[in-house]
Structure 1
Amino acid sequence: MFKHDFSLPDSFYVASVQVATVWTNSESAREIDEPGITNPTNIEKWLDYLSNEEKVALCNDNRVQTQLLYGEVVIVSEINGDWAKVTIPSQPSKKDALGYPGWVPLNQLKKVAKEDWLKPETAAISSKHAWLEDELGEKQIKLSYMTCLPVVQVGNERVEVITPIARGFLPVEDVEIFPTGEGGPKGDGLRIIEKAKEYVGLDYLWGGMSSFGYDCSGFAYNMHKANGYQISRDASDQAAFGKEIPFDKLLPGDLLFFAYEEGKGSIHHVGLYYGDGKMIHSPMTGRGIEIISLKDTTYEKELCIARRYWEGGGVTNG
């Protein structure tokens, strides 16, 4: 959980659904994507409904850019009918200095006042999923790992939080509380790997940024986020910063980057060094997060650079 210190205007928007997919433009979503663009959304139903070919097309047809978690802040720069053009300050990108850009259905966003939204403490979901409950304990929304919401008060069994809709409650055992302006405690590389191992088997999703499905760089981003480091959203940006590590000095938690043309072309993949010549990564559509040995694989040939963010704090953009 990195500190939330990005500059914000007096009012801004936050995601008001469990996971909001950020599309390339306002015409990118297909009819089959309807469960993913409504409010409320049902991310699990949407992903179950899509075939592997339809999931691959999210990438190959340049439809999806990234995703937002419930309550994640966006800056809206344009509204076109039912869609909003946004930047995401919590997801650094070379595509826009203000944050990752894309388009989100307007009905998946809620406008809030800065003074009402930002609180001294924030609750981050630390389990794979957690149910947001109402005052009576009724389950309302199934939320992803690393969803962060402002804290109202902490009780013995539940934490009262501010949501885009109303006050809500999260089980104490499913969250970690951290100072909003400071971030959570920084974990080392082994801690990053410990968290990553919990997601072995989770299906890959292009653009995925939630525990319903990660892509390769989304997986790396969120495992660092869980340990107090903010890194760039995309693999090519992640490879440009941090501390370069020689391949014979790798430690668990370092990021490994892979490029076409046997490591000489453009970067297309990132994984986390696991130790003992292995990596843990989210590979591709149709396969889940896995731990593999690099030896005698295409990845061994394509390995081009390694970076470390967990030593001395997370360097993001320079």
Structure 2
Amino acid sequence: MTALHNIWHCSVAVASIWTKPESAREIDQSAITNPVQLVKWLEALPYKERLDLCNSNRIQTQLLFGEPVMVEEIQGEWAKVIAILQPTHKDERGYPGWVPLAQLSKQQLSDSTESIIVNVDKTQLWSEDGTPQIVLTFNTILPVLGDEGQYHIVDTPIGRGKVLKSSAAKYTGDIVQSMDKAVQFGLGYLDLPYIWSGMSSYGYDCSGFTYNMAKACGLRIPRDAGDQATYGVAISKDNTEEWQVGDLLFFADEKGTKPVRHVGFYYGEGQMLHSPQTGKSVELIKLAGTIFEEEICAVRRYGPGVKTT
């Protein structure tokens, strides 16, 4: 065991943060390699095994390529990490868990004041000589080193690379858009299958969906639904006329009396956009006549100037 306190970065397209090293099963091997094989992993997961990711509390959250983590210790081929950009009540420093060492890089990235954020479903990262490297997912953020024709030149955990300008926007972290824009981003993922702890355009869980659409708007809200329900501005859950497009709707068992278990976006006109549960996909539904109508327990509004964590 080696004690460390420095910042490393995710070096694969998407890395899952596991509850403990033993949480990964034989069927999960494609998800813990470098390069990671996300499509192979997800296609091989039957419903029962997908559901077990949740029921056995195997995965906590996910990292995107280039995302920083604090490495606390190393045990064999695994690193105990803190995802410092994912606020949670579990640790004031960020989201805790375990990541395969092979999916992390010690290479430090440029401290450029400007970055790019991928604003399409997926795009290619090339090396500087034009060799295809990895597929970047929506919301991947990388420091910008310069421009070259149709490309942004970026710094990455695997060296300098190129990303098409048409698939990424300049990102400074201080421009916040309203949450109705988050809903517009979310509509791009209709029919995307739910994945427990999902944080990428390969699959989101309910709060991963709201977190990432808010992130695309320049907002960093808490990672989990229960925490998301404690920040922002409280809106009356009983007066739907006060609800605005982009407000977060929270739900709990036993007619809203139990702890928060689900979150979605208010779409307007009595509809909700959300990533429901294992076996279902991102969908737009009318709340009237559904179990959600009985289980709503809170409504929160996020946006420019609102306290998010």
Give the TM-score category using the shorter length.
over 0.9
Q: 1:58 touches 1:206 (CA, 8 Å); kept in 2? A: yes
Q: 2: CA distance between counterparts of 1:222 and 1:200?
A: 14
Q: 1: CA distance between counterparts of 2:41 and 2:110?
A: 29
- The aligned residue for residue 112 of structure 2 is 119
Cα offset, 1:252, TM superposition:
0.5
Q: 2:287 touches 2:293 (CA, 8 Å); kept in 1? A: yes
Cα offset, 1:10, TM superposition:
9.3
Q: 1:231 touches 1:314 (CA, 8 Å); kept in 2? A: no
Cα offset, 1:111, TM superposition:
0.9
For residues 140-165 of structure 1, give each alpha carbon's deviation from its aligned partner in whole angstroms, at most 9, with x where no partner exists. Answer: 21111000011110223001111111
Q: Tell me if 1:64 matches 2:59.
A: yes
Q: Which of 133, 136, 139 does residue 140 from structure 1 map onto?
A: 133
Q: Which of 29, 32, 39 does residue 37 from structure 1 map onto?
A: 32
SS of the residue 1:92 aligns to: coil
Cα offset, 1:314, TM superposition:
4.3
Q: 1: CA distance between counterparts of 2:248 and 2:33?
A: 35
- The aligned residue for residue 243 of structure 2 is 250
SS of the residue 1:79 aligns to: strand
Q: 2:18 touches 2:97 (CA, 8 Å); kept in 1? A: yes
For residues 221-271 of structure 1, give each alpha carbon's deviation from its aligned partner in whole angstroms, at most 9, with x where no partner exists. Answer: 000000011100000000011100113200000000000111001110000
Q: 1:15 touches 1:72 (CA, 8 Å); kept in 2? A: yes
Q: Tell me if 1:209 matches 2:199.
A: yes
Q: 2: CA distance between counterparts of 1:150 and 1:94?
A: 28
For residues 149-185 of structure 1, give each alpha carbon's deviation from its aligned partner in whole angstroms, at most 9, with x where no partner exists. Answer: 1111022300111111111110000001122xxx152
- The aligned residue for residue 6 of structure 1 is none
SS of the residue 1:219 aligns to: helix
Name the amino acid aligned to 1:47.
Answer: L
Distance 1:67 1:40, change over 3 A: same
Moved more, 117-126 or 21-30: 117-126
TM-score (norm 2): 0.95
Q: Tell me if 1:288 matches 2:278.
A: no
Q: Tell me if 1:316 matches 2:308.
A: yes
Distance 1:112 1:257, change over 3 A: same
Q: 1: CA distance between counterparts of 2:202 and 2:174?
A: 23
Name the amino acid aligned to 1:206.
Answer: W
Name the amino acid aligned to 2:305.
Answer: G
Q: Which of 238, 256, 267 does residue 274 from structure 1 map onto?
A: 267
Name the amino acid aligned to 2:183.
Answer: I
Cα offset, 1:76, TM superposition:
0.7
Q: Equivalent pairs: percent with the same residue? A: 46
Q: Tell me if 1:237 matches 2:230.
A: no
Q: Work out the number of aligned pairs and report it.
A: 303
Q: 1:14 touches 1:109 (CA, 8 Å); kept in 2? A: yes
TM-score (norm 1): 0.93
Name the amino acid aligned to 2:232.
Answer: G
Q: 1: CA distance between counterparts of 2:275 and 2:131?
A: 34
Q: 2: CA distance between counterparts of 1:10 and 1:149?
A: 22
Q: 1: CA distance between counterparts of 2:153 and 2:183?
A: 30
Q: 1:119 touches 1:151 (CA, 8 Å); kept in 2? A: yes
Distance 1:28 1:10, change over 3 A: closer
Q: 2: CA distance between counterparts of 1:193 and 1:62?
A: 29
Q: 2: CA distance between counterparts of 1:313 and 1:45?
A: 42
- The aligned residue for residue 82 of structure 2 is 87
Q: Tell me if 1:185 matches 2:175.
A: yes
Name the amino acid aligned to 2:162.
Answer: F
- The aligned residue for residue 130 of structure 1 is 123
Q: Which of 16, 29, 33 does residue 11 from structure 2 map onto?
A: 16
- The aligned residue for residue 93 of structure 2 is 98
For residues 171-222 of structure 1, give each alpha carbon's deviation from its aligned partner in whole angstroms, at most 9, with x where no partner exists. Answer: 000001122xxx1522113211111111101010000000000000000000
Q: 2: CA distance between counterparts of 1:131 and 1:184?
A: 26
- The aligned residue for residue 75 of structure 1 is 70
Q: 1: CA distance between counterparts of 2:41 and 2:136?
A: 15
Q: 1: CA distance between counterparts of 2:203 and 2:153?
A: 27
Task: Give the superposed CA RMSD.
Answer: 1.4
Name the amino acid aligned to 1:212.
Answer: Y
